[in-house]
């Protein structure tokens, strides 16, 4: 049965008090309407149309990346009028699913259940029961329990206002019938709008069967009209994700203090302390430990790695049994091999750091290729930028760099070289030798590193 989907997103969202149009406000890092589009796409519709109006130019950028049809509703004359603008898009389908761009959390399974609750010729409404139904359209039923109409809050009498079953706004309608009949809607009501909900009484008159699915989770059908509602849905969504993590074997210090804005993939026996934020695509292997207040974006973290408090990791690949932080900043292009160590107040960027190498304190390592078992002293800086171009620093295996050293790139430190503290290195530091530049650079051949006295 071919299904067309129309997402209504032309409304202004006055109560958000924002220059950003309502459906572009973010939930879990993604615009509200993107949640709706992504869920809609999973139903594999023959056509997916978004009706835009207010702030259309803001929504258009997103629609281009999503490859979705856009239809403009120049004046917002009501939900029925909005659907009317998309008639040409769904006229050839069998049925149309109408979604709202400001109702982000409806589950795929719920939509599927709604589609399946009646045949293609029936009108199907997703409803929910609310203890506090103010503001919603009420589902009016006759003595036999059949739906007869939907009455909007502003048009309802005292008796109707006591009804707790409300319209979610989400409906499935026979496409041809909707296309032919939507023009019959009038705006003879309290708001002077063309209500899509009036298609229900029209269906009753014209003998179209009506089916309903009552959704037990109110959050799935909750719309965002205010910033308070947005915050409430955000917390609800985050708690759902936190629960899923725990089900999958992750220990959370506090399930109400974690934010996942993207896709987090986890192994087991992972421990996450409070106020950790994950963005984009993050993968955590088994036995990873993450301290408080870390922000981790687009990263892969290997097994047994420990990230201490207040560290930021962006677009980086981290091996197994690595130690990071506290207060470390790993910028894009950082690749840490197994057992590497990045300590406090260290910044890395575009840097490959080899197995077991340590940058323990107060350093900047950028545009660098570093071998294994290197020890970088405190306050070491790779001077990668000459004011116009970036240059690379190459450091071999088992190198020891003394504290307060500047490596002026492009520059190479060969295997087993030692750099004395306070060096400003501008030329290659040869292998197996001590290089110092306290006054003038000189190389001490045959120098041996001190060995630990037992």
Q: Is 74 a catalytic residue?
A: no
Tell which one of 39, 73, 266, 380 touches ligand UD1 (CB under 6 A): 73
| Region binding ligand UD1 by CB under 6 A among candidate stretches 5-13, 311-319, 343-351, 364-372 | 5-13
Regarding 136 and contact with ligand UD1 (CB under 6 A), the answer is: yes
Decide if residue 102 touches ligand UD1 (CB under 6 A).
yes
Site for ligand UD1 in 392-421 (CB under 6 A): none
Three-state SS annotation for the chain: CCEEEEEEECCCCHHHCCCCCHHHCEECCEEHHHHHHHHHHCCCCCEEEEEEECEHHHHHHHHHHHCCEEEECCCCCCHHHHHHHCHHHHCCCCEEEEEECCCCCCCHHHHHHHHHCCCCCCEEEEEEECCCCCCCCEEEECCCCCEEEEECHHHCCHHHHCCCEEEEEEEEEEHHHHHHHHHHCCCCCCCCCCCHHHHHHHHHHCCCCEEEEECCCHHHHCCCCCHHHHHHHHHHHHHHHHHHHHHCCEEECCCCCEEEEEEEEECCCEEECCCEEEEEEEEECCCCEECCCCEEEEEEECCCCEECCCCEEECCEECCCCEECCCCEECCCCEECCCCEEEECCEEEEEEECCCCEEEECCEEEEEEECCCCEECCCCEEECECCCCECCEEECCCCEECCCCEEECCEEECCCCEECCCCEECCCECCCCEEECCCCCEEECCCCCCCCCC
Residue whose CB is nearest to Ca ion in the complex, by number: 223
**Residue 189 CB, nearest approach to ligand UD1 (Å):** 8
Task: Say which residues have a Cβ less than 8 Å from residue 222's Cβ, sequence separation at least 6.
Answer: 103, 105, 229, 233
Least distance from Ca ion to the Cβ atom of residue 137, Å: 10
- Binding mask 145-184 toward ligand UD1 (x if CB under 6 A, else -) reads -----x-x-------------xxxx---------------
For Ca ion, which residue of 31, 55, 80, 223 counts as binding (CB under 5 A)? 223
Q: Closer to ligand UD1 by CB, 136 or 364: give it.
A: 136
**Closest chain position to ligand UD1 (CB):** 137
- Residue span 186-225 as binding mask against ligand UD1, x where in contact by CB under 6 A, dash where not: ---------xxx-------------------------x--
Residue with Cβ nearer ligand UD1 (82 or 342): 82
CA–CA distance, 197 with 174 (Å, rounded to integer): 14
**Selected catalytic residue, list 25, 81, 361, 391:** 361
Q: In 222-233, which positions are buried (b, 16+ CB within 10 angstroms) versus exposed (e)?
A: bbbbeeeebeeb
Residue 105 vs 411, nearer CB to ligand UD1: 105
Q: Please choose, out of 33-41, 215-223, 250-258, 376-384, the segment that lies near Ca ion by the rule CB under 5 A.
A: 215-223
In the complex, least distance from residue 102 CB atom to Ca ion, rounded to whole angstroms: 6
* Residue 185 sits in the site that holds ligand UD1 (CB under 6 A): no
- Contacting residue, 51, 233, 401, 429, with ligand UD1 by CB under 6 A: 51
Nearer to ligand UD1, 17 or 445 (CB): 17
Count of residues that interact with ligand UD1, criterion CB under 6 A: 28
56-66 vs 32-41: helix crossing angle, rounded to 10: 30
Minimum CB distance to ligand UD1 smaller for 101 or for 118:
101
325 interacts with ligand UD1 by CB under 6 A: no
| Bridge pairing between strands 400-401 and 418-419 | parallel
By the rule CB under 6 A, 31 interacts with ligand UD1: no
Decide: is 10 part of the binding site for ligand UD1 (CB under 6 A): yes
- Give the interface size with Ca ion as a residue count (CB under 5 A): 1
Query: Binding pattern to ligand UD1, positions 81-100, x when CB under 6 A?
Result: xx-----------------x
How far apart are CB 163 and ligand UD1 at their closest, in Å?
Answer: 11
Residues identified as active-site: 361
Provide the binding-site residues for Ca ion, judged by CB under 5 A: 223
Q: Which residues bind ligand UD1 (CB under 6 A)?
A: 8-11, 51, 53, 73, 76-79, 81-82, 100-102, 136-137, 150, 152, 166-169, 195-197, 223
């Amino acid at each position: 049965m071919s299904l067309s989907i129309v997402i209504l997103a032309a409304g202004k969202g006055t109560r958000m008090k924002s220059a950003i149009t309502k459906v572009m406000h973010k939930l879990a890092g993604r615009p509200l309407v993107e949640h709706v589009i992504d869920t809609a796409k999973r139903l594999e519709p023959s056509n997916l149309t978004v009706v835009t109006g207010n702030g259309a130019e803001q929504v258009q950028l997103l629609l281009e990346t999503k490859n979705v049809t856009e239809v403009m509703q120049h004046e917002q004359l009501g939900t029925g009028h909005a659907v009317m603008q998309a008639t040409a898009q769904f006229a050839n389908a069998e049925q149309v699913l109408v979604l709202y761009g400001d109702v982000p959390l409806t589950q795929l399974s719920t939509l599927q259940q709604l589609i399946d609750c009646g045949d293609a010729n029936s009108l199907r409404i997703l409803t929910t029961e609310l203890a506090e139904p103010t503001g919603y359209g009420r589902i009016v039923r006759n003595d036999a329990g059949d739906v007869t109409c939907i009455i909007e809050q502003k048009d309802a009498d005292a008796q109707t206002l006591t009804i707790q079953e409300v319209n979610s706004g989400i409906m499935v309608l026979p496409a041809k019938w909707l296309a032919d009949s939507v023009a019959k809607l009038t705006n003879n009501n309290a708001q002077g709008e063309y209500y899509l909900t009036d298609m229900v009484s029209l269906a009753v008159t014209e003998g179209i069967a009506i089916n309903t699915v009552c959704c037990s989770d109110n959050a799935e059908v909750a719309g965002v009209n205010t910033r308070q509602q947005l915050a409430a849905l955000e917390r609800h969504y985050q708690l759902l994700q936190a629960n899923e993590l725990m089900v999958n074997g992750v220990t959370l210090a506090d399930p109400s203090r974690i934010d996942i804005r993207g896709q987090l993939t986890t192994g087991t026996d992972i421990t996450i302390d409070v106020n950790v934020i994950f963005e984009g695509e993050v993968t955590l292997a088994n036995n990873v430990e993450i301290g408080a207040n870390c922000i981790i974006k687009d990263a892969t973290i290997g097994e047994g790695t420990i990230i201490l408090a207040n560290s930021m990791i962006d677009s980086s690949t981290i091996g197994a049994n690595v130690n990071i932080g506290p207060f470390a900043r790993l910028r894009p292009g950082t690749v840490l091999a197994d057992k590497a160590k990045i300590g406090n107040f260290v910044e890395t960027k575009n840097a490959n750091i080899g197995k077991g190498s340590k940058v323990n304190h107060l350093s900047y390592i950028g545009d660098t290729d570093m071998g294994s078992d290197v020890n970088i002293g405190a306050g070491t800086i790779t001077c990668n930028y000459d004011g116009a171009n970036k240059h690379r620093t190459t450091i071999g295996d088992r190198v020891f760099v003394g504290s307060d050293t500047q490596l002026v790139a492009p520059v190479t430190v060969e295997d087993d070289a030692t750099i004395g503290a306070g060096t400003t290195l501008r030329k290659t530091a040869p292998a197996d030798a001590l290089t110092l530049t306290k006054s003038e650079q000189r190389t001490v051949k045959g120098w041996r590193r001190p060995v630990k006295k037992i």
